[in-house]
Amino acid sequence: MPYTARLAVIVIAGALGAAAGSLAALLLPAAQFAWSGFALLPLFVVLESLLKHATPAFGGDPNAARVWLAGAILVCFYAAWFVLRSQ
């Protein structure tokens, strides 16, 4: 598959992570940072359940897909979290 498919899947994962990070930053208690990990749990369940659809974009390698997509989710989640919490 072309790199554009891989990039599109990574961007979608990042957008989901950023949306979840924004919601978590706005809704979760400010003094308890540990709750952010629980907010990520549904995204990882969705990632694992939809991994078979994203694997072809990574040349059929599920481990590469898992690493790239989980990384995009985490980076975008915490970027959104820290941007909104630092204001």
Reported as half-sphere exposure (CB side, CA atoms, 13 A), residue 75 has a value of 11
Our CA angle for 13, 85, 23, nearest 5°, is: 45
Length of the chain: 87
E strand spans, the chain = none
pLDDT for 1: 57
Name the stretches of the chain with pLDDT < 50: none
pLDDT for 33: 75
Rounded CA gap, 52 and 35, in Å?
Answer: 29
Our CA angle for 73, 77, 80, nearest 5°, is: 145
